[in-house]
């Protein structure tokens, strides 16, 4: 790490993506994290779904997501080529379905809103939904198909990023950062748990939900999510299924190996890492209404993750806190989706290149009152 150009604090999908891209530009880069990929990236479902996740008041986030989704195929190709790891990228789209009349009314309103934004969605009857996904409940009344949505396996993405980053000359330092050092007349730096101090020309703060502990002025908080992984036969589902069940959202994300990721709760409970009986019950209950056959699958894993939330749900990307510090945090549910555009933006800030237009709404200095 001594004398390197960039220290990246945080080895999740955002920090590793930025570090990999910076290393490919010829910068000497070190990523500091005691257990890279073990945070929110480990728990993430990996949906690349800006269209099906659109919200009425979050059009800047939609534009950011669309800009990043457009970058994902090239990002995937380069990552797989340089790492030799298949990230299980799939592009069969998202099928969003409704279970009851109120849920169907919500989907109708959502479709009308998406159409005003020019987003490509297709309205489907319940029968058409079941033709696409035969495991859906007969009670599904209808749905929307966002054919442009995709998804990846985040754990494979993290593994690929670590390999590609090190092959590009980057250094993975498996230690914990206890302090961000900002002193007049000194280059920015970090203090490690061992007490060692390391400085660099730039520090990229990509510590997710823990970013505010290192830079108290950053408005980032942990948003707890419980998520389940089920194991079943390949082809049980062929695309992402999202649904509204009596007003509660649920999603099921299939993997190429037969795993299905089921999630996720949204809980404002700080760093409460407990998997609760209530959380597991609610996830299984709602998913069973949409896809009754999931009760026959093996419950392979229960996980808790902490999404880094901000007051307006937009990430913080850009110079922040002090000269020489660049924030890349606050991605909430979208860390995997937004990794390519964030990496491009961070690299531009590091090298003086052109910052993607969609990232300008993510200025860490914006008014968040």
* CATH number of the structural domain spanning residue 274: 3.30.9.10
**CATH classification of the domain holding 200:** 3.50.50.60
* Last residue of one domain, picked from the residues 292, 309, 326: 309
pLDDT in tens, 78-103: 999 999 999 999 999 999 999 888 88
Report phi then psi at 193, rounded to 5. Answer: -60, -25
Residue 83 belongs to a domain: no
Domain count, the chain: 2
Position 280 confidence tier, pLDDT thresholds 50, 70, 90: very high
Range of lowest pLDDT (117-121, 122-126, 158-162, 361-365): 117-121
pLDDT of the residue at 2: 57
DSSP per-residue letters across 159-216: HHHHHHHHHTT-EEE---EEEEE--TTS--EEEETTS-EEE-SEEEE--GGGHHHHST
- Asked whether residue 248 carries a pLDDT value surpassing 80, the answer given is no
Same structural domain, 233 and 133: yes
| pLDDT on residue 249 | 83
Question: 241 and 195, same structural domain?
Answer: no
Do 201 and 167 lie in one domain? The reply is yes
CB atoms within 10 A of CB 109: 11
pTM of this prediction exceeds 0.75: yes
Domain that holds residue 248: 94-147+221-309
- The predicted pLDDT at position 147 comes to 93
Higher pLDDT residue, 246 or 324? 324
Give domain status of residue 82, yes or no.
Answer: no
Mean pLDDT value across residues 192-202? 93
- Is 367 contained in some domain? no
Q: Same domain, yes or no, for 161 and 291? A: no
Q: Given 285, 309, 333, which residue is the final one in a domain? A: 309
Is residue 158 located within the same domain as residue 304?
A: no
Q: What are the b/e assignments for 194-225, b being 16+ CB within 10 Å?
A: eeeebbbebbbbbbbbbbbebbeebbbbbbbb
Please choose, from the candidates 116, 110, 125, 121, the residue with its C-alpha nearest in 3D space to the C-alpha of residue 148: 121
Q: CA angle at residue 272 from 174 to 325, to 5 degrees?
A: 45
pLDDT, tens only, 167-180: 999 999 999 999 99
**How many CB atoms neighbour CB 366 within 10 A?**
13
Residue 1 pLDDT > 70: no
Reported as a single tens digit per residue, the pLDDT across 287-331 is 999 999 999 999 999 999 999 999 999 999 999 999 999 999 999
pLDDT in tens, 11-25: 999 999 999 999 999
């Amino acid at each position: 790490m001594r004398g390197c150009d960039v220290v990246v604090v945080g080895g999740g999908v955002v920090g590793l993506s930025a570090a990999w891209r910076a290393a490919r530009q010829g910068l000497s880069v070190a990523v500091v994290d005691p257990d890279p990929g073990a945070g929110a990236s480990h728990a993430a479902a990996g949906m690349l779904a800006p269209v099906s996740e659109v919200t009425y008041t979050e059009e800047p986030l939609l534009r950011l997501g669309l800009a990043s989704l457009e970058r994902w195929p090239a990002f995937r190709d380069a990552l797989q080529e340089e790492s030799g790891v298949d990230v299980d990228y799939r592009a069969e789209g998202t099928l969003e379905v409704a279970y009851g009349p109120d849920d169907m009314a919500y989907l109708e309103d959502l479709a009308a809103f998406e159409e005003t934004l020019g987003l490509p969605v297709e309205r489907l009857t319940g029968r058409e939904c079941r033709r696409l996904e035969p495991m859906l409940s007969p009670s599904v009344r209808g749905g929307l198909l966002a054919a442009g949505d995709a998804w990846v396996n985040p754990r494979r993405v993290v593994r690929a990023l670590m390999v590609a980053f090190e092959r590009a000359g980057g250094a993975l330092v498996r230690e914990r950062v206890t302090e961000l050092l900002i002193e007049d007349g000194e280059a920015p730096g970090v203090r490690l748990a061992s007490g060692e101090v390391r400085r660099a020309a730039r520090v990229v703060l990509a510590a997710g939900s823990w970013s505010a502990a290192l830079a108290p002025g950053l408005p980032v908080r942990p948003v707890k999510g419980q998520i389940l992984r089920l194991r079943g036969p390949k082809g049980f589902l062929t695309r992402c299924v999202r649904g509204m069940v009596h007003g509660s959202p649920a999603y099921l994300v299939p993997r190429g190996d037969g795993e299905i990721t089921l999630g996720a709760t949204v809980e404002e409970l700080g760093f409460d890492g407990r998997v609760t009986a209530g959380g597991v019950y609610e996830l299984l209950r709602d998913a069973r209404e949409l896809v009754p056959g999931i009760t026959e699958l093996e419950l392979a894993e229960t996980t808790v993750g902490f999404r880094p939330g901000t007051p307006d749900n937009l990430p913080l990307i850009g110079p922040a806190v002090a000269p020489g510090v660049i924030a890349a945090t606050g991605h909430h549910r979208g860390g995997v989706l937004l990794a390519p555009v964030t990496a491009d933006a961070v690299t531009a800030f590091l090298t003086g290149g052109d910052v993607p237009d969609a990232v300008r709404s993510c200025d860490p200095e914006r008014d968040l009152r």
